[in-house]
Amino acid sequence: MKNRLLFLAVLVCCLPATAYAYIDPGSGMLLWQGLIAAIGAVIVFVRSPWQAIKRLIERLRHK
């Protein structure tokens, strides 16, 4: 079952189809906004534990 689903997914991706779609500038800005938000989230996610580690090292160093 999984092999059939994978085969179907690859087949759909490999067969090109004309979309006749219009992407307005707002869509591009939405992508940029999402990218910036994702980068900000990664920075906050990494920085919080890093600050805790730095505080622990400072406490151990001053003892």
pLDDT digits (tens, 9 = 90+) for 8-37: 989 888 888 787 878 788 888 999 999 999
Decide: pTM greater than 0.85.
no
Look at residue 54 and tell me if it is in a domain: yes
pLDDT of residue 21: 79
Examine residue 47 and state whether it is found in any structural domain, yes or no: yes
Please state, for a pLDDT cut of 70, what percent of the chain lies above it: 98
Per-residue confidence (pLDDT) for residue 23, from 0 to 100:
78
Residue 40 lies in domain: 23-63
User: Has residue 4 been placed in a domain?
Assistant: no
Tokens of 18: 């004309």
Domain count, the chain: 1
Dihedral angle computed from the Cα positions of residues 13, 18, 21 and 23, in that order, rounded to the nearest 10 degrees:
60
Domain assignment present for residue 7? The answer is: no
The number of angstroms, rounded, from the C-alpha of 58 to the middle of its chain's C-alpha atoms is 33
